[in-house]
Structure 1
Amino acid sequence: MLHIAVLTANPDNPVVNGDLLDRVRAALPGAHDPKSLADGVAAEIAFEADAGSLPGLLDDVGSVLGNSPVDLNILPPAHRRKALLVADMDSTMIGQECVDELADLVGLKAQVSLITERAMQGEIAFEPALRERVALLKGLATNQIDRLLEERITLMSGAETLVKTMRANGAHTALVSGGFTLFTGPVAARLGFHEDRSNRLDLDGEFLRGTIAEPILGREAKREALVELRDALGLNREQTLAVGDGANDLAMIAEAGLGVAFRAKPAVAAAAGARVTHGDLTALLYLQGYHRDEFAA
């Protein structure tokens, strides 16, 4: 049975060289010649193996890689290019957790960040944790959010290229977040997503009321959004891609044809079919077989 081993590194640390590829190829049964996708950054090797042997092969190749800052993922050759991207926002498409940055404005970042971390690790339920954090923001002026977006919110490396390249190749793109519409709208527009879905903060004039409009978009709602979009577009499961980093992303990652844990919490990385720890978000394009020359400007 044919499989594809994809190796990706961070573009700022291009270590996928010929020597490494030769060693990986030697560890794979029936391996074909390596194919470069981006010099030093990404390559793939087709090989022949029974599905049952893949866990052991991952261990073998992992030993070959050692401490090299390279991500290894093994994928089937069919349906590599996806027609639907569903992406988390906080710590995935952007480098921050928006609720933590809001809390910093009222001097409560340390307290709120601790709750966020426990929720993302899956130690506490997402929905009550979100209500608890938002309650601490009561009275915050909404004009502070515009300042946050301008001064603190940064796009994750490779995010814009990922979205634009998939759109240029006919994919539908959706930002589906447990965060808030006041952030997802501007972020989705900056990155070029077709649409965004997230939670709505209740307002009292120009101030936060400290509550969230129900129902809260959490773990199951993210999965349901993926299924709804997939069905509406007439796609099958293999044509979908989901990416996230926290426990509330696990259901949509499991539902997708290609579910990617991006710089994720340990429990999420362990459960996902694909993991990107060292690379940036363009790694998701290499997983789909894109060559660097095919990226949208």
Structure 2
Amino acid sequence: MEANAHSPFFSSLAALCQQSFALQAVGDTPAAVTAPWCLTLLAMEIEGAQLQKLAEFLRECHWQVVAVDILAARPGCSVVRLQLDGDIAFDDARLALLELGQELGLELALQAGHTQRAPRLACFDMDSTLIQAEVIDELAKIAGVGDQVAEITLSAMRGELDFQQSFRKRMSLLKGFTEASLAEIAPRIPLMPGAQRLLLALRALGCKTAILSGGFTYFAHYLRDNHLAVDFVHANQLEFNGGALTGGVIDPIVDGARKALLLQQIASELELPLEQVIAVGDGANDLPMLSLGALGIAFHAKPKVRAEAPQAIDGFGLDAALYLFGLNDRQISALLGESAE
């Protein structure tokens, strides 16, 4: 439903959205994006008071809402997309919206209007993004060196070690861990909620997908072969001798810089501009690739990463990223062959 920027809507964004909920079924096709910016609101339930405060913020910023679409309206998930016009400095705006969202209890994702489309390539971190674990930490606990590995991780976080140094030190502590034990662990690592849905939807949209991970190819290949629709895998190779880990590493190590390089290489091989690529991750070593494409989504990330990433999703599963492509629940269900509720 379109909103005239000169109407009294700024004084009652809540009323406008309520009218949109009444007149626009979620099953309708969302309006074509014609505005330079889109702001997506995600919450378990969006309340009038939240919308009123958001309206005040938009008015103060002189950002005009030119269209409203309801992308989801079901128990536990409400998603509204606003098309915005105005003089918006992206970095300043996203930080202001991050602070406002925390105040209001909303997730607010700002993106350029032309990025509200399905990507052609989507690159994912693995640990704590596609799966609910940091594999190296889980291996360390089983090997009885969990505390030592945790201390090395803390040292890296304090800036005393870079990722490559910390990775080599942690791997040295896993010497002797058997391949048979790895085979037992792999099926027990839980997938991130929404991961399968998102990857299947991307494949249905014709989008290629890649795992770019500072974790291990052993587990990334397991995910690709058993659970997730993944086209490319780049991660660290485990070095075995006699069926056990040597404690050494095989170069090159996949750190943040290499993730960014791999994203660009895959896009080049597919003859895709970066404007058709997105990246999703949770850690500081994901920030280089998150800054490259059309969207860079920090998923369930630490505050520092969330503050630096272009977009963020915190309170939902990975499949919530589909709303940032401009899809509503009915379209997503059709892509996945699900029965629409």
Which whole-Å deviations, capped at 9, do the CAs of 1:126-176 have from their partners, x for residues lacking one? 11111111100101111111221222x111111111111111001000011
Name structure 1 gaps, 5 residues minimum.
Answer: none
Instruction: Choose which of 13, 27, 50 in structure 2 pairs with 1:20.
Output: 50
Partner of 1:95: 132
Alignment of 1:46-195 (within 5 A): 46-52=83-89, 55=92, 59=96, 62-63=99-100, 66-68=103-105, 70-80=106-116, 81-116=118-153, 119=156, 124-151=161-188, 153-189=189-225, 190-195=227-232
> Residues 32 and 211 of structure 1: is their aligned pair in 2 closer, same or farther, counting only changes over 3 Å?
same
Name structure 2 gaps, 5 residues minimum.
Answer: 1-34
Instruction: Choose which of 68, 72, 88 in structure 2 pairs with 1:34.
Output: 68
Counterpart amino acid of residue 190 in structure 2: T
Q: Distance in 2 between matches of 1:121 and 1:88?
A: 22
Q: Distance in 2 between matches of 1:215 and 1:71?
A: 37
Q: Distance in 2 between matches of 1:218 and 1:156?
A: 22
Q: Distance in 2 between matches of 1:167 and 1:55?
A: 34
Q: Distance in 1 between matches of 2:303 and 2:96?
A: 17
Partner of 2:271: 234
> Residues 256 and 85 of structure 1: is their aligned pair in 2 closer, same or farther, counting only changes over 3 Å?
same
Counterpart amino acid of residue 275 in structure 1: A
Q: Distance in 2 between matches of 1:96 and 1:148?
A: 12
Which whole-Å deviations, capped at 9, do the CAs of 1:73-122 have from their partners, x for residues lacking one? 11111132211100000011111000001011111123213433554686
The yes-or-no answer on 1:2 pairing with 2:39 is no
Partner of 1:205: 242
Partner of 1:287: 324
Offset of residue 194 of structure 1: 1.2
Q: Distance in 1 between matches of 2:321 and 2:238?
A: 31
Question: Which deviates the most, 99-108 or 247-256?
Answer: 247-256
TM-score by length of 1: 0.89
Q: Distance in 1 between matches of 2:244 and 2:141?
A: 16
RMSD: 2.3
Q: Is the 8 A contact 2:133 2:190 kept in 1?
A: yes
Q: Is the 8 A contact 1:142 1:207 kept in 2?
A: yes
Q: Distance in 2 between matches of 1:129 and 1:220?
A: 15
Offset of residue 17 of structure 1: 4.3
TM-score by length of 2: 0.79
Which whole-Å deviations, capped at 9, do the CAs of 1:186-233 have from their partners, x for residues lacking one? 122311111211111110121111111112111111111100111111
Q: Distance in 2 between matches of 1:114 and 1:23?
A: 44
Q: Distance in 2 between matches of 1:94 and 1:236?
A: 28
> Residues 140 and 21 of structure 1: is their aligned pair in 2 closer, same or farther, counting only changes over 3 Å?
same
Find the residue that maps to 1:66 and give its secondary structure: helix
Partner of 2:298: 261
> Residues 57 and 88 of structure 1: is their aligned pair in 2 closer, same or farther, counting only changes over 3 Å?
closer
Q: Higher relative CO (CA 8 A, sep ≥ 6), structure 1 or 2?
A: 1
> Residues 27 and 266 of structure 1: is their aligned pair in 2 closer, same or farther, counting only changes over 3 Å?
closer
Find the residue that maps to 1:179 and give its secondary structure: strand
Find the residue that maps to 2:184 and give its secondary structure: helix
Q: Is the 8 A contact 1:174 1:195 kept in 2?
A: yes
Counterpart amino acid of residue 135 in structure 1: S
Find the residue that maps to 1:128 and give its secondary structure: helix
Q: Is the 8 A contact 1:38 1:291 kept in 2?
A: yes
Larger radius of gyration: 2
Count of residues paired in the alignment: 291
Q: Is the 8 A contact 2:98 2:307 kept in 1?
A: no
